[in-house]
Amino acid sequence: MSARNDLERLVRPNILALAPYRSARDEFQGLASASVFLDANENSLGSPLEEDFSRYPDPYQRPLKEALARQKGLLPGQIFLGNGSDEAIDLLLRAFCEPRLDNIVILPPTYGMYAVQAAVQDVEVRRAPLCADFSPDPEAVLRATDERSKLLFLCSPNNPTGNRLPDSFLIAMLERFPGLVVVDEAYIDFSEQPSVLSFLEKYPRLVVLQTFSKAWGLAALRVGMAYSNSFVINILNKIKYPYNLNVLSVRISLQALERSSEWNDKIGVIKAERERLARALTALPQVREVFLSEANFLLVRTTDADRIYAALCAEGIVVRNRTRELHCENCLRITVGSPAENDRLIAALQNLNAA
């Protein structure tokens, strides 16, 4: 089977047949000489603001994709940009999973939105839990799948555990799972290992998710990326809202990309703070284990997560209580903050112990 046919068989038939909405901005592309735009029912007089926001934005965010493509060594046509990577997760489900017929496979404990978006779409979620040490079990994943398994979500580094899934496991899944393998790399820039973007050339059924919300420090903008082959990207473009990203988010993301060196410095600080925080936490009597993390958070097994969570809240410090997640009994997920924030957290925990 050709790679294209292999992908086509995964798409919901109604989506494959869909003629997408063509916006006014789709139709005028290519008319470089045009200067009077009376095609989109905008307000040509503008708004009460000084800056002009009167025109709909580019539906395909071309300059930002070109900049990302250069940085990642890909083609712009291999990039989808969404309102956070959450939009890409949602659209992958809509495009590939037939409600009440198809299923997705996840490896709990993991990022909650895969299951939530599947539930919204009435798509079955199959679970192949990570082992107690948070490593994946390839055979268990394959046992959980059937011919209606369309998407396998693999989060690496994984939220909330912080560990990476080994490349050998990802490759085994790409070779053996017959649907799309979605590797969510929201935290990849905090890891020492490279991204799996280089696998895209060999594996047409791979989708890689990344985001501006974590390492780039731009969560408020809501910009996330899906990288794949152009067939999958075109399917996502076909079903997205026509103007899914606003002009400010795109512009500021582009400005951030142009300042990559400053960005690298910040990541270095967060990684150093992660190690310092891990050492300080390990020394506390109410901490049983700090799991190794390749992300910007630490999963910490404590003596009593509910009590420590409440005590930290009373000090004005909010962490994430993960004690009810599989294999995470008495675990808190703690984001690595600024050096001052980390100092406050450590002091609060030390005082808690003294009390």
Ligand X SMILES: Cc1ncc(COP(=O)(O)O)c(C=O)c1O
Q: Is 129 in the site for ligand X (CB under 6 A)?
A: no
Q: Which residue is nearest to ligand X (CB)?
A: 84
- Least Å distance, CB 223 to ligand X, is 7
What residues between 177 and 236 interact with ligand X by CB under 6 A? 184, 186, 211, 213, 219, 224
| Nearer residue to ligand X within complex by CB, 64 or 155 | 155
Q: Is 155 in the site for ligand X (CB under 6 A)?
A: yes
Q: Is 318 in the site for ligand X (CB under 6 A)?
A: no
| Nearer residue to ligand X within complex by CB, 85 or 163 | 85
Q: Is 152 in the site for ligand X (CB under 6 A)?
A: no
Q: Is 61 in the site for ligand X (CB under 6 A)?
A: no
3-state secondary structure of 16: helix
First vs last C-alpha separation in the chain: 67
Please give the distance of CA 85 from its chain centroid, rounded to a whole number: 5
Q: Is 328 in the site for ligand X (CB under 6 A)?
A: no
| Nearer residue to ligand X within complex by CB, 280 or 298 | 298
CA angle 2, 6, 10 (to 5 degrees): 160
What is the DSSP secondary-structure string of 267-287? HHHHHHHHHHHHHHHHTSTTE
Q: Is 86 in the site for ligand X (CB under 6 A)?
A: yes
Per the CB < 8 A criterion, the answer to whether 15 and 95 are in contact is yes
Per the CB < 8 A criterion, the answer to whether 199 and 170 are in contact is yes
List 159, 161, 286, 330, residue binding ligand X (CB under 6 A)? 159
Give CA–CA dist 327/130, Å, rounded. 9
Q: Quick one: which segment of 11-19, 44-52, 69-77, 83-91 binds ligand X (CB under 6 A)?
A: 83-91
Per the CB < 8 A criterion, the answer to whether 226 and 74 are in contact is no
Q: Dihedral (C-alpha) 6, 10, 13, 15: value to the nearest 10 degrees?
A: -110
Q: Is 156 in the site for ligand X (CB under 6 A)?
A: no
| Nearer residue to ligand X within complex by CB, 76 or 224 | 224
Binding positions for ligand X, rule: CB under 6 A: 84-86, 111, 155, 159, 184, 186, 211, 213, 219, 224
